[in-house]
């Protein structure tokens, strides 16, 4: 009797985790497509550089102030699309800058493909090994704070080597966050697919921008 109850609970937990993973990846693919649409619009409209700051600022305000209050309601879905739409729109000025380089389209396509390969590879690894990566939490968050602090200083000192090192560090940190966030979904650290989607989306977004920066540097243009 006890084992039946235990099996029943375990089965319910597995079903719930599978549902969370399915919903998260479905919403993630929809938001990525939506971002691609808003990014294309931003590129075609040739939005000025300030668009990047304003859109990201708006997206972060929604993420910090609105999403936590709406994550358990239907309105949360709209908030997730607003956040990802704004972040996609923010990419316009940066993409225009890279696309104007002689081999710009190749750089952008390589960054896009590379981001996809890294995300799918690491997600597949975290999902199949089912290893618990929650021990990484403190390390990743402190690493992120250090990188943000160094990026803040580099705005005013503008050291190109530091900028490059920061991009490389962000690629590594976001790779760690992909493992950490995916593992949290599998091992029950998170139970809301809207939050999980935004976290994974942010990992992909930052990974893409940093990869674009590294590839732009490597192309000598």
Residues found near another protein in the complex (CB under 8 A): 49-50, 53, 56-57, 60, 64, 103, 106-107, 110-111, 114, 117-118, 121-122, 125, 129, 131-142, 144-145, 148-149, 151-152, 155-156, 158, 168, 171-172, 175-176, 179, 211, 214-215, 217-219
* Shortest reach from residue 89's CB to another protein, in Å: 16
Q: Which is nearer to another protein, 74 or 160 (CB)?
A: 160
Give the C-alpha separation, 90 to 206, whole Å. 12
- Which residues make Cβ contacts (< 8 Å) with residue 168, sequence separation at least 6? 210, 214
Q: Which is nearer to another protein, 30 or 127 (CB)?
A: 127
Q: Which is nearer to another protein, 1 or 65 (CB)?
A: 65
Q: Is the four-CA dihedral 127, 211, 104, 43 of positive or negative sign?
A: positive
What Å distances lie between residue 83 and 24, 52, 76, 86, CA to CA?
A: 15, 13, 10, 5
* Shortest reach from residue 219's CB to another protein, in Å: 5
Q: Which is nearer to another protein, 78 or 102 (CB)?
A: 102
Give the number of other CB atoms < 10 A from CB of residue 72: 11
């Amino acid at each position: 009797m006890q084992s039946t109850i235990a099996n029943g609970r375990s089965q319910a937990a597995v079903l719930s985790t599978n549902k969370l993973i399915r919903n998260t990846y479905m919403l993630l693919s929809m938001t990525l497509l939506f971002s691609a649409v808003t990014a294309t619009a931003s590129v075609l409209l040739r939005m000025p550089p300030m668009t990047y700051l304003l859109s990201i600022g708006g997206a972060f305000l929604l993420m910090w102030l609105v999403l936590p209050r709406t994550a358990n309601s239907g309105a949360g879905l709209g908030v997730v699309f607003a956040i990802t739409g704004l972040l996609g729109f923010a990419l316009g000025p940066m993409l225009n800058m890279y696309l104007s380089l002689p081999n710009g389209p190749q750089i952008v396509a390589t960054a896009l493909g590379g981001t996809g390969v890294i995300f799918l590879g690491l997600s597949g690894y975290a999902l199949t090994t089912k290893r618990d990566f929650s021990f990484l939490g403190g390390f990743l968050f402190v690493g992120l704070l250090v990188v943000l602090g160094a990026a803040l200083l580099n705005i005013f000192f503008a050291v190109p080597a530091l900028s490059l090192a920061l991009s490389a560090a962000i690629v590594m940190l976001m790779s760690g966050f992909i493992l950490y966030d995916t593992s949290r979904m599998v091992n029950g650290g998170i139970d809301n697919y809207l939050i999980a989607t935004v976290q994974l989306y942010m990992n992909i977004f930052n990974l893409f921008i940093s990869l674009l920066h590294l590839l732009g540097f490597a192309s000598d243009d």
